[in-house]
Amino acid sequence: MKKIRIGLIDDHNIVREGFKSLLHSDPQFDVCLEAVTGEHALELITGNNLDLIITDITMPEMSGIDLCKKVKENGIKIPVIILSMHNNKEYLLKAYNAGASGYLVKDCDKSELFFAIHKVLNGGTYFGEAITLAMLEKYAYEDQQPTLVYNGFTKREKQIVNLLKAGETTKSIANTLFISPRTVDKHRANMMEKVGVHNVIDLLNYLASPLNNQ
């Protein structure tokens, strides 16, 4: 059985040891990299064939959110799950926007952690119900703003177009909105038909024009 190689970054030794012991309770997981700072983690990640990074948010020198950004900026194709004591929309949205693939609070149970890991490794995301509600609330608020009122679009279409503007893929939009990728494609096709364009780039360019946002 091929081991899932995990990098664990947390500046508290007792927390790191606890999560390492939890992960090693399943023989498929191998914590093969540990670091106490984001800077040190970046140095080690480059030379390791990792499948997943699990990091805290609050650390010296570089936060877990900044580490996510650096991983993405450096073109490192390793998904990141954030484990944090913070369970509020501000941190959730910052992690999401930084490119994290998952977010869990540190009081999560073992089954949720393992579920999140497998979902992320299979190309999905895991932020739980809290991040989904926060994202929908955020985009519902944006829907009410004058620059984002697109005549003829349904509420769901406005949510999808805002996620497209944020650079989300069809799969990630489907995960966020709890709908199928096929449904996302259908809504996107309907929007393009409504404004008379034939691809997503032209749709976003059309909607970016102030003249079309009245």
For residue 197, is pLDDT > 80?
A: yes
Query: At which of 126, 155, 181 does a domain end?
Result: 126
| Structural element, H or E, at residue 84 | strand 80-84
More confident: 29 or 130: 29
More confident: 61 or 64: 64
More confident: 20 or 173: 20
Are 42 and 120 in the same domain? yes
Are 114 and 96 in the same domain? yes
For residue 81, is pLDDT > 90?
A: yes
Quick one: pLDDT at residue 129?
Answer: 55
Mean pLDDT along residues 148-164: 76
Quick one: pLDDT at residue 107?
Answer: 81
- 119-152 tens-digit pLDDT: 899 888 888 655 555 555 555 555 444 444 456 7
pTM of the model: 0.62
Quick one: pLDDT at residue 48?
Answer: 79
Of 194, 129, 113, nearest to 161 (Cα)? 194
Quick one: pLDDT at residue 73?
Answer: 87
Are 26 and 108 in the same domain? yes
For residue 208, is pLDDT > 80?
A: no
Domain of 9? 4-126
Quick one: pLDDT at residue 6?
Answer: 96
Quick one: pLDDT at residue 149?
Answer: 42
Rounded to a whole number, what is the distance in angstroms from the first to the last CA of the chain?
58
Query: At which of 98, 126, 154 does a domain end?
Result: 126
* DSSP character string of 86-146: --SHHHHHHHHHHT-SEEEETT--HHHHHHHHHHHHTT--B-HHHHHHHHHHHHHHHHTSG
Q: Record the tokens describing residue 30, joined without a space.
A: 């191998």
pLDDT > 90: percent of the chain: 27
- What does the alpha-carbon distance between residue 80 and residue 78 come to, in Å, rounded to a whole number? 6
Quick one: pLDDT at residue 146?
Answer: 40
Quick one: pLDDT at residue 133?
Answer: 55
Quick one: pLDDT at residue 153?
Answer: 85
Total domains in the fold of the chain: 2
Are 17 and 113 in the same domain? yes
Are 106 and 122 in the same domain? yes
Quick one: pLDDT at residue 33?
Answer: 93
Query: At which of 96, 126, 156 does a domain end?
Result: 126
